[in-house]
Chains A and B, each alone.
Chain A
Amino acid sequence: MKQCLVVDDSSVIRKVARRILEDLQFEITEAEDGQQALDECRKTMPDAILLDWNMPVMDGLEFLTSLRAEEGGESPIVVFCTTENDVAHIARAIRAGANEYIMKPFDREIVEAKFQEVGLI
């Protein structure tokens, strides 16, 4: 079973994402901000990370930049999932090493399409 870390400060979003991803046969761990996510990754590197942008303590972009600099941090496939939906934000995320990008609001079909796109399913 593949592991996916869901990073979002909203417990509602985490729950929705968990339900969708569990149906797609992922084992889910959760984090509420970038710092928690980084701690999780230092314990076990997941196969995939679904990543919000705006979060307290450490935001998604900062997390991603730190992650990619960590040992083994190039391996997880990172899919941003955020309300930031303008070209500038998307381009920054890609440059920082994101593999795909979901613009909220999202649904099951979009998550499935994007995870397929990056070869996770």
Chain B
Amino acid sequence: MTPGEFEFLKNFLKTRSGLVLSNDKQYLVESRLLPIARSSKLETLSAVIQTLQRSGNRALETDVIEAMTTNESFFFRDKTPFDNFRDTMLPALLQSRSNFKQLKIWCAAASSGQEPYSLAMCLKEEAAKMGGWRTRILGTDLSLEVLEKAKAGLYSQFEVQRGLPIQLLLKYFEQKGDMWQIGAPMRSMIEWKKLNLLENFAHLGEFDIVFCRNVLIYFDQATKSEILARLAKSLPEDGYLVLGAAETVVGLTDAFKPVPGKRGLFQKKPAVHAATGPGASTRFAAGGVAGLRR
């Protein structure tokens, strides 16, 4: 891989998935893309990149983009967000939405499904308080590969032992050979869709709660700001945004403010919901990033 090829790949990933690759990540590129070089019979990294440069090979483009995503996830990751969900978000929304009895939750980087399924289990555990309520969880991700896994709800013994209390494993999973599958009632609570956060997602409508965890960390400041500004439009005034443990809105947008004392939890600032990120206006002016794809 020549410096020029690496530069091309960096730009390609930045525009297509938002991923920012620093120059010291050559090893990462090699370990993630060499398997693709082999399976696509192109053999070398250079050949893969040259094929991308000629463009038009959609399957290869998707393979490269998906291979460069980091999909690690586990059940009840970091615990606090799920405690906040049960103890702060749910009680507030159960009260404020008591007329409609409807709750919409979006996991915007759902990966292999552990996060939405953790929320589904939380909801089931609170079912006694939610008689007559309709809840909908939407799980989206850029990568179809992880969404397939999420949909199947099949996890290895290793995966079900990271963060999942044994009682919940017994209660909600079935053993399938040496794998564990989350039960059909849980799977039916969640809808899965492929979605790139760089693209317009206004058509998804409004959500009461958005989990957008451990994905913004891979993007640059402008992209983070722009996505946060659009997320604000997907939430009502009293909705909640949940970010990952290493993520914040501070310095990125005026649309959200941290909820005091609740790590990773954010709400909209009253009356300020204009897009404020530096990237926001230019990207919209260019017709959205979706326009850049073709």
Q: A residues bordering B, Cβ < 8 Å?
A: 85-87, 90-91, 94, 100-103, 106-107, 109-110, 113-114, 116-117
A87: B residues at CB distance < 8 A: 170, 175
- Contacts known (A86-B175, A87-B175); A101 close to B166, Cβ less than 8 A: yes
Q: Is B35 an interface residue (CB 8 A)?
A: no
Question: Cα distance A107–B167 when bound, in Å?
Answer: 20
- Contacts known (A85-B157, A87-B175); A117 close to B170, Cβ less than 8 A: no
Which residues of B156-170 are within 8 A (CB) of A? Answer: 157-158, 161-163, 165-167, 169-170
Which residue of A86, A100, A106, A107 contacts B166 across the interface (Cβ within 8 Å)? A100
Q: How far is the CB of B30 from chain A (nearest CB, A)?
A: 26
Which residue of B162, B167, B169, B175 contacts A110 across the interface (Cβ within 8 Å)? B162
Q: B residues bordering A, Cβ < 8 Å?
A: 74, 79, 157-158, 161-163, 165-167, 169-170, 175
- Interchain Cβ contacts under 8 Å between A and B, 10 examples: A87-B170, A91-B170, A94-B170, A100-B166, A101-B166, A107-B158, A110-B161, A113-B74, A113-B163, A116-B79
Cβ-defined contact, A103 with B157, below 8 A: yes
Decide if the interface of chain A is mainly helix, strand, loop or mixed.
helix
Q: How far is the CB of A111 from chain B (nearest CB, A)?
A: 9
Q: How far is the CB of B170 from chain A (nearest CB, A)?
A: 6
Cβ-defined contact, B170 with A102, below 8 A: no
Q: How far is the CB of A51 from chain B (nearest CB, A)?
A: 13
A101: B residues at CB distance < 8 A: 166
7 interchain residue pairs of minimum CB distance: A101-B166, A110-B161, A113-B162, A103-B157, A100-B166, A117-B165, A87-B175
Cβ-defined contact, A90 with B161, below 8 A: no
